[in-house]
Amino acid sequence: MGTLQVSEPLPDDVEEGLCAFGRRLLDLVLAPEALAFHRLFIAEAPKFPELARHFISRNRLLDLIAGVLAGYRDLAALPPAEARTRAEHFAILVIGIPRTLALLVGREPPAEEERRLRAAVRLFLDGCRAD
């Protein structure tokens, strides 16, 4: 996650910025070592349910996403609980299917990954605008 925090600034345009950030997230969570950790976490979570709950409730990745979202004026005026929920929605839309595919059959071709990412960001922003 440190790589995401010290990388170059995101574009000012909210859609382009969230796409750029989404690409960074995907590179992080789809790295082979991250996928191996995710597999291990899923396998061991039933043995350690309290640890699993703690991991989900204290997820630093969601805090990072909430911070990025807060950097965009259109998304910034949110109470902390709602900001966290929006971060969860962003993560699910951007990471959900690509990580599942990567876990099961491997990472998608770059063009398909980009298409899916852009669609996820547009859906996220359309949902935010509907509020």
Q: Is the pLDDT of residue 80 over 70?
A: no
Please indicate, yes or no, if residue 56 is contained in any of the structural domains.
yes
2: pLDDT confidence band, cut at 50, 70 and 90? low
Please indicate, yes or no, if residue 4 is contained in any of the structural domains.
no
- Residue of 80 and 82 predicted with greater confidence: 82
Report which of 125, 103, 104, 102 is spatially closest to residue 112, judged by C-alpha positions: 102
What integer is the mean pLDDT of 16-41?
94
Helix or strand holding residue 22 (H, E): helix 14-29
Tell me the C-alpha to C-alpha distance, in Å, between residue 8 and each of 11, 21, 28.
9, 10, 16
CATH of the domain at 26: 1.10.357.10
Q: Using an 8 Å Cβ cutoff, are 120 and 99 in contact?
A: no
- Residue of 118 and 71 predicted with greater confidence: 118
> What is the span of the domain harbouring residue 17?
10-130
Report the alpha-carbon distance of residue 25 to residue 5 in Å, rounded.
11
Name the domain count of the chain: 1
pLDDT in tens, 95-114: 999 999 999 999 999 999 99
pLDDT in tens, 61-77: 888 898 888 888 766 66
Please indicate, yes or no, if residue 111 is contained in any of the structural domains.
yes
Please indicate, yes or no, if residue 5 is contained in any of the structural domains.
no
- Type of residue numbered 65: I
φ/ψ region of 10 (left if φ > 0, alpha if ψ in -120 to 50, else beta) reads beta
- Residue of 81 and 36 predicted with greater confidence: 36
Please indicate, yes or no, if residue 3 is contained in any of the structural domains.
no
Please indicate, yes or no, if residue 2 is contained in any of the structural domains.
no
- Type of residue numbered 44: E
